[in-house]
C-alpha cells in the first residue's frame, strides 16, 4: 500500500486532452486540500474556456471512430478498467479519503460501488438493441435502431468522487459517445487517477478528456455554447442544475440531471425497531451525511418516536469523529467551513423553535471542518432543517399519527429522490410504494444504490436515470428508418 505522499505523487497533475496530460492554456494551477487538516495536498492544472474548446476538438475528432469501435471492444476496455480498479483499490480509497475526508471504510465501499458501474456498462455495451417490424399498412418495414448521441459533457460533485464519475463515464463510453468530464474542484484527484486507469486499459486518445478547474462557470459556458456538444449529464445541487438547464436550452442539448434530495425515513409503529435503527444509521451517517440519498427527515409514528430517537442518540454518542485515515473513525470532516456553518445554523434554528437536542449539536475546533453527530427530536414543522438538504451528520425526528399524515409529510417537499419506509405490514408497504412521490424507495432498507438499478429522482431531484438497463439510454438516441417493400 502506498504512503500518502507516494500516492499523491502518482496522481497526474495536468489536464487530460487528446490522450496527453498537460498544463492548462493559462499555465495556472489551483490547490486541492484535505478537509480533515485544512492543508494543501496537491497543485493541479486549472482548465480555461480555451482548454474546454481543445477538449471538444478532441472529443469531436474521436467520436466517429469510437462509435464505430466494436461494442465488444468498448466493453472490454471498461472491463479492463474495472479489473485495474480492483487491483488499485487501496490507492483509490486512500485518495478519496485524502481529498474528500470520508472515513476509509466509506471510501472502500465507494470503490466497490463505483467500480460496479464500469463492470455493469461493460456488459451493457454489447446489449444495445433495436427492433424491426412490418408497418401497419403492410407497405414496408420499420427499423428502429439506437445511435450514440455524440460528444458529452459530464459534471460531477465532490461527495462521491469516484462513483459519480463512473456512473456517467461507464454508460457514455459503452454507448459509443466521447466525453469530457469536469470533476468538482474540491475532489478532482480521484477522477484524474480513474482516467489514467482507463488509458491503461486501452482507451484511445480523445475519447475521454478531464478538465479540473477552479472556474467551472466560465469553462462550462464555453463548452455549452459550442454547437459540437450534444449532451450534458450533471450531478449536483438543484440550484446549479437549474442554471445548467437554462444554458442547455440554447443548444437543445440532451440533459440528465441528478440533483438534490430531502429524503424522508418513515418508521411505522409495526416496524422492527432494531432493523429500523440499523437502516437509519446507514441512511444518515454514511459519508458523514453528505449524500443526496441521506435521510433528511425521520418521520416516526408517535408510539415509537421516543424509543427510536433515544436509540439513535445512543448510537451517535459512541461514534468516533476524526480524520478518515484513523482507525475506527466513522464520522469524517464536512467538505468545508461553509458546510459546517450551515449544519450548525440549521441545528440552532431547530432548537430555537423548540426541538430537543439529544446528542451532539456543536462544531468541533479545527484543524479540519468537523461537526458533531447530532440527534434532534420533536422537531417542529416550521424548522428550516426540514426543508433544507442538511448534508451533515444530523438526525431530525418528527412525530406523526396516521399513515395519511406520514404520506403528507413525506411528500411535502419539492424534492423526490429517495424515500425509506420501515414497516412489517406488507399491505402498508405496498401502499407506500404507490403513494410516495419518489424516484427510488427502500422498503426496510437503508441503502438502495446499485449499479444494476435505475438511480434518479422526480420533481426537483432531477431528470433521467443512471445505472440499470435504463442508464445507457441517456446516451443513445433512437433512429427510425422506413424501408418500402
Ligand atoms: P454543486 O455545487 O451543484 O456542484 C456540482 C458540480 O457542478 C461541481 O463540479 C461544481 O464545480 C459544478 N458547478 C458549480 N457551479 C457551476 C456552474 N455555474 N457551471 C457549471 N458547473 C458548475 O453541488 P455539490 O455541492 O458539489 O454537490 C452536492 C449536491 O449534489 C447536493 O445537492 C447533492 O444532493 C447533489 N447530489 C446529487 C446526486 C444525485 O444522484 N441525485 C448525487 C450526489 C450529489 P465546482 O466544484 O468547481 O463548484
- Does any ligand 1 atom lie closer than 6 A to the CB of residue 389? yes
**Would you report the helix, strand and coil content of the chain in percent, each value rounded to 5?**
40, 20, 35
Q: Please, are residues 195 and 13 in contact by the beta-carbon 8 Å criterion?
A: no
pLDDT confidence bin for 234, thresholds 50/70/90: very high
The H or E element that residue 421 is part of is strand 418-422
What are the cell numbers at 319? 461514534
Question: Rounded CA gap, 255 and 335, in Å?
Answer: 27
Q: CB-based contacts of 251: which residues, under 8 Å, 6+ apart? A: 224, 225, 227, 229
What are the cell numbers at 151? 460528444
Active site residues: 258, 292
Quote the ligand 1 centre to 240 CA distance (angstroms): 7
- Does any ligand 1 atom lie closer than 6 A to the CB of residue 438? no
Out of 233, 240, 337, mutate this one to test ligand 1's pocket (max ligand atoms within 8 Å of CB): namely: 240
Domains of the chain by range and CATH? 4-259+462-484 (3.40.605.10), 263-450 (3.40.309.10)
- Does any ligand 1 atom lie closer than 6 A to the CB of residue 185? yes
What is the average pLDDT value for the chain, to the nearest integer? Answer: 98
Averaged pLDDT for residues 218-235: 98
Q: Whose CA is nearest to atom 6 of ligand 1?
A: 157
Distances (CA, A) of 437 to 209, 348, 400, 480: 37, 30, 18, 34
pLDDT at 366 over 90: no
pLDDT confidence bin for 1, thresholds 50/70/90: confident
- Does any ligand 1 atom lie closer than 6 A to the CB of residue 261? yes
Q: Which atom of ligand 1 is nearest to the CA of 186?
A: 46
Quote the ligand 1 centre to 231 CA distance (angstroms): 17
- Does any ligand 1 atom lie closer than 6 A to the CB of residue 263? no
Averaged pLDDT for residues 169-177: 98
Averaged pLDDT for residues 131-154: 98
Question: Rounded CA gap, 484 and 313, in Å?
Answer: 70
Averaged pLDDT for residues 4-17: 97
pLDDT at 378 over 90: yes
Q: Whose CA is nearest to atom 17 of ligand 1?
A: 217
- Render pLDDT for 309-336 as a digit per residue (tens, 0 to 9): 999 999 999 999 999 999 999 999 999 9
The H or E element that residue 71 is part of is helix 71-87
What secondary structure letter does DSSP report for 455? B
Q: Whose CA is nearest to atom 40 of ligand 1?
A: 258
- Render pLDDT for 58-116 as a digit per residue (tens, 0 to 9): 999 999 999 999 999 999 999 999 999 999 999 999 999 999 999 999 999 999 999 99
Out of 183, 237, 286, mutate this one to test ligand 1's pocket (max ligand atoms within 8 Å of CB): namely: 237
The predicted pLDDT at position 123 comes to 98
Please report where in the chains the cell 438502495 appears, as a residue.
Answer: 448
Q: Which atom of ligand 1 is nearest to the CA of 391?
A: 31
Strand order in the sheet with 263-267: 356-359, 374-377, 394-400, 295-301, 263-267, 418-422, 440-443
The predicted pLDDT at position 127 comes to 97
- Does any ligand 1 atom lie closer than 6 A to the CB of residue 220? yes
Quote the ligand 1 centre to 157 CA distance (angstroms): 4
Out of 47, 106, 157, mutate this one to test ligand 1's pocket (max ligand atoms within 8 Å of CB): namely: 157
- Does any ligand 1 atom lie closer than 6 A to the CB of residue 243? yes
The predicted model scores a pTM of: 0.98
Averaged pLDDT for residues 221-231: 97
Q: Whose CA is nearest to atom 21 of ligand 1?
A: 216
Amino acid at each position: 500500500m502506498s504512503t500518502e505522499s507516494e500516492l499523491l505523487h502518482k496522481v497526474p497533475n495536468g489536464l487530460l486532452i487528446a490522450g496527453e496530460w498537460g498544463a492548462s492554456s493559462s499555465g495556472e494551477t489551483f490547490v486541492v486540500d484535505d478537509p480533515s487538516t485544512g492543508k494543501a495536498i496537491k497543485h493541479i492544472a486549472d482548465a480555461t474556456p480555451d482548454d474546454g474548446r481543445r477538449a471538444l476538438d478532441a472529443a469531436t475528432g474521436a467520436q466517429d471512430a469510437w462509435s464505430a469501435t466494436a461494442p465488444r471492444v468498448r466493453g472490454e476496455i471498461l472491463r479492463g478498467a474495472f479489473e485495474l480498479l480492483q487491483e488499485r483499490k487501496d490507492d483509490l480509497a486512500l485518495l478519496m479519503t485524502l481529498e474528500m475526508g470520508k472515513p476509509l471504510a466509506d471510501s472502500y465501499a465507494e470503490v466497490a460501488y463505483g467500480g460496479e458501474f464500469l463492470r455493469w456498462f461493460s456488459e451493457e455495451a454489447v446489449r444495445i438493441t433495436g427492433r424491426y417490424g412490418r408497418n401497419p399498412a403492410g407497405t414496408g418495414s420499420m427499423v428502429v435502431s439506437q445511435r450514440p448521441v455524440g460528444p458529452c459533457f459530464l459534471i460531477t460533485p465532490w461527495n462521491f468522487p469516484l462513483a459519480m464519475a463512473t456512473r456517467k463515464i461507464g454508460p457514455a463510453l459503452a454507448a459509443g459517445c466521447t466525453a469530457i468530464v469536469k470533476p468538482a474542484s474540491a475532489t478532482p484527484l480521484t477522477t484524474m487517477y480513474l482516467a489514467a486507469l482507463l488509458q491503461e486499459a486501452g482507451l484511445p486518445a480523445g475519447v475521454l478528456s478531464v478538465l479540473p478547474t477552479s472556474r467551472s462557470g466560465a469553462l462550462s459556458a464555453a463548452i455549452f455554447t459550442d454547437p459540437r456538444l450534444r449532451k450534458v449529464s450533471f450531478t449536483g445541487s438543484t440550484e446549479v442544475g437549474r442554471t445548467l438547464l437554462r444554458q442547455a436550452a440554447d443548444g437543445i442539448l440532451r440533459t440528465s440531471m441528478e440533483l438534490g434530495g430531502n429524503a424522508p425515513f418513515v418508521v411505522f409503529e409495526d416496524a422492527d425497531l432494531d432493523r429500523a435503527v440499523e437502516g437509519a444509521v446507514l441512511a444518515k451517517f454514511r459519508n458523514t451525511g453528505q449524500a443526496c440519498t441521506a435521510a433528511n427527515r425521520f418521520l416516526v409514528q408517535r408510539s415509537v418516536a421516543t424509543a427510536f430517537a433515544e436509540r439513535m442518540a445512543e448510537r451517535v454518542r459512541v461514534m468516533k469523529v476524526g480524520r478518515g485515515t484513523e482507525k475506527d473513525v466513522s464520522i469524517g470532516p464536512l467538505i468545508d467551513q461553509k458546510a459546517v456553518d450551515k449544519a450548525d445554523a440549521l441545528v440552532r434554528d431547530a432548537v430555537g423553535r423548540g426541538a430537543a437536542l439529544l446528542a451532539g449539536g456543536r462544531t468541533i475546533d479545527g484543524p479540519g471542518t468537523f461537526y458533531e453527530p447530532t440527534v434532534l427530536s420533536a422537531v417542529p414543522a416550521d424548522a428550516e432543517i426540514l426543508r433544507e438538504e442538511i448534508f451533515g451528520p444530523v438526525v431530525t425526528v418528527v412525530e406523526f399519527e396516521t399513515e395519511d399524515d406520514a404520506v403528507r409529510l413525506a411528500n411535502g417537499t419539492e424534492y423526490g429522490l429517495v424515500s425509506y419506509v420501515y414497516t412489517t405490514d406488507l399491505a402498508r408497504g405496498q401502499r407506500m410504494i404507490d403513494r410516495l412521490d419518489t424516484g427510488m424507495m427502500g422498503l426496510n432498507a437503508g441503502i438502495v444504490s446499485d449499479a444494476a438499478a435505475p438511480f434518479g429522482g422526480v420533481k426537483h431531484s432531477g431528470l433521467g436515470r443512471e445505472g440499470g438497463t435504463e442508464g445507457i439510454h441517456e446516451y443513445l438516441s433512437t433512429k427510425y428508418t422506413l424501408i418500402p417493400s
